[in-house]
Each structure stands twice: as structure tokens, then as C-alpha cells.
Amino acid sequence: MRSAAARDLAARARGPSRRLRPWTAFVCLGTVLSLSPPAAGQGGTLEQVAREVQVRYARGEHEAALPLLREMVRRGLTGPAEDLVRRGIETGARSPEFRYLLGFCLVQRFQYEAAEPVLRGAVAAAPREDGWKHTFARCLSGRGRNREALAQLEQAIAIRDRPEYRYAKAMCALNLGDVEVAERELERCRRADPRNANVLYQLGCLAADCGEQDRAVGLFLEVLRYDPEHLEARFRLGLAESRAGEDERAIARFEAVLEEVPGHVGALYNLGRALIRVGRAEEGRACLERFREMSELEDQIGFLREFVRRDPGHVDKRLVLAEHLLRAGRTDEAIEQLDAARAVDPARPELYDLLAVAFRRSGRRADAERAAAYADTLRRSGR
């Protein structure tokens, strides 16, 4: 008789159920910045730009420094920009854009709790800035406040309708369980940008969850055409092909997933079953034996889950749990654990290293780069 851990492992390995899992992603479509275009002639090294900002502050010309601060943020220099923005606020800057830029820098560093009051004040002071509302919605969603985030996004869309606002609205709707709204918004995003892999992936997942396997196969193939490294899309494509009776194709997908993540339990289990169905019984049984060996990892995952349930503030154990989940190919669950760890201790470089890995597997390249950059920042600061 199989253990409870082994039974649970088999259930997970069959693939996502049609019931939607919690969605933690809040990926922006297109640029991550909701900023005005930079003024001409704002090049120069970081030191030169920072020096010029200080000069303008000394003259009392705080607003004249804003184009330079925007450019720093646009280049991804959010750490130095945050310091300069704070100094501007401390020395008398009155424009609400200073507070917006501070909030934006905090969001880029995953500091959602600190960013919330700053962005709330900026949005209240400039209620017609749609981009600011979008950033505020990112912050609220990062804290799990999806209904409030949805309200901000609807206001932003009423001011200016942009695909990234529609995509963010779809993610909030999924978090709230409103599949109909999510699919409608994703289709609008697809019409605006037919090659956006994130949009296509979410539509593929919805199709698969609704049992529309042929449609899901087409959507996941499109994802891989535009983002060949999207690991989760490759696994979901294999599942959809397997359910549609295309076992030979599914086998190739699962093998490709296992080349990258050898312990991916879903790929091991479904590959074994597919091999048996096409008459390659010996190979299939060997694959399922490897899958059964993974029950030891599942036992460790179960133990760690119970540990952090009893001690939610134990960040080290959450990080180990996230590592184990990534080894098992359970990317979304790993992200959930890392988000929980970040809420307790947001300054652990290894946490953002793991987030970068998880985001890359999910096709969230901008978020992966942001997490990796912040991990480097923390290490340089001596954390």
C-alpha cells in the first residue's frame, strides 16, 4: 500500500487540476516603467548624473532634477535613485512625483509594505496619473490585496487603456477566481500583442484547465515559438498533448523538461505513463521507478511544510522548502514560499536568487532580472 506522501505525489504529478491554483504573478506586459519619456541629453555616468542632481537640489531646483532621476530609474539604477529621491524629499521637494519615484524604487526591490503608504499618497496627490495607479496596483497585488489592486487598475484603464493594465487586471481577476473576466482581458491583450508569451501562456493554462486540450496545445506551441526557454509551457504542452492522445509528442516534451530539471515529478510520472502507452514498457517502468524514488523528496517537503506552518517566521526552513519545491518542478508553490519568506526577512540575497530561478522557469524574464539584480545589490551592501 502506498504511503500518503506517495499518493499525494502521484496526484500532483498528473498535472494541474481544472480548479485554478492561486496566482501570485503580477507580470507587466511591455515596459516595467510607468514613467514619462526621458529628456534629451541626459546621458553620462552615474557619478555625473548624481552630482548634477545634487547641484540642482542645492539651488532649490528640485523639479529640475526629476528628468535625471527618471533616467536613473529607467536604467535600472533604483538603489542610487532611491537615495537621491529620499534626499530630495528631505530637502524640500514638493512634487508628488518624488514620492511616486520612491514608491516605484521600493516596488522594484520587492519592498511592497514600505511602498504602499508612499504610493497611496502619490496617487492621491495626482489622481490622473494612470501609470502611477498601475504601479500602486502592482504594490497592492504583491501584498495579496487583489480587490484593491483591481480598483486601481480600472481607474487607470478609464484614464488610458494600455495592454499592461489589461494584463494586470487579468491576473487580479484570476487571483479572485473570476475566470471569465480574466479570459476576456487576456484576449484583449493578445489582440494588442499577439506575440506576448506571458499572455499566450495564461490563455493556454485556462484552456487546459477547462478541458480544451487542442486549443491549449496550439497556445503552448505559440508560447514556445516566442520564448523557447519557457519550462512550464513545455511541461503544460506535454500534458495537453498527452491528454489529446498525442503520446509520442508528449514524450519529447517531458524528456526536454527533465533535461533541465531532472527531478521534475510531473514530467517523470507523465513520461513513464506515456512510454508504457506507446509500448515502451521497460523504459516506462524505469521512469516510474525514478518517480517513486522522489517520494523521499516529497516526504521532506511535507515535513518542511508542517515546520513552517508551526513556525511561520522561520525563513531558513522556508528557503529550503522552496529549493525542494524547485527540485520537484513545483515552481508556483516555490514562489508562494519565497513570497512568505520575503514578508518576514526581505533582505536575504539567496531568497532573490531562488526567485530569479522560479521566475525564469515561468517565463517572467523581467521579474527574474529584477530579482537577480536585487540579490547582487544586497550582496554588495554586505548582506
**Helical spans, DSSP H, in 197-280:** 197-209, 213-226, 231-243, 247-260, 265-277
What kind of architecture, by CATH, is found in domain 30-149? Alpha Horseshoe (1.25)
Matching CATH topology for 30-149 and 295-380?
A: yes
Give the CATH number of domain 295-380; options: 1.25.40.10, 2.40.50.150, 3.10.330.20, 1.10.3720.10: 1.25.40.10
Is 70 exceeded by the pLDDT of residue 305? yes
pTM for this predicted structure: 0.79
29-43, 157-171, 279-293: which range is least confident on average? 29-43
**Of residues 29 and 285, more confidently modeled:** 285
CB within 8 A of 338, min separation 6: which ones? 318, 319, 322, 351, 354, 355, 358
| Interval 344-378: pLDDT, tens | 898 899 999 999 999 999 999 889 999 999 999 88
Q: How far apart are CA 252 and CA 259, in angstroms?
A: 11
Is 70 exceeded by the pLDDT of residue 323? yes
Q: Which of the four pLDDT bands, split at 50, 70 and 90, describes residue 26?
A: very low
Mean of the pLDDT values across residues 131-153? 96
Q: Which of 231, 206, 229, 210 is nearest to 219 (CA)?
A: 206
For the chain, domain boundaries: 30-149, 295-380
Q: Which of the four pLDDT bands, split at 50, 70 and 90, describes residue 29?
A: very low
Q: Is 144 exposed, middle or buried (0-12, 13-18, 19+ CB in 10 A)?
A: middle
Q: How far apart are CA 200 and CA 332, in angstroms?
A: 17
Q: How far apart are CA 356 and CA 360, in angstroms?
A: 6
pLDDT at 35: 40
DSSP-assigned states of every residue in 19-85: SPPP----PPSS-S---PPPPTT--S-HHHHHHHHHHHHHTT-TGGGHHHHHHHHHTT-HHHHHHHH
**Of residues 261 and 100, more confidently modeled:** 100
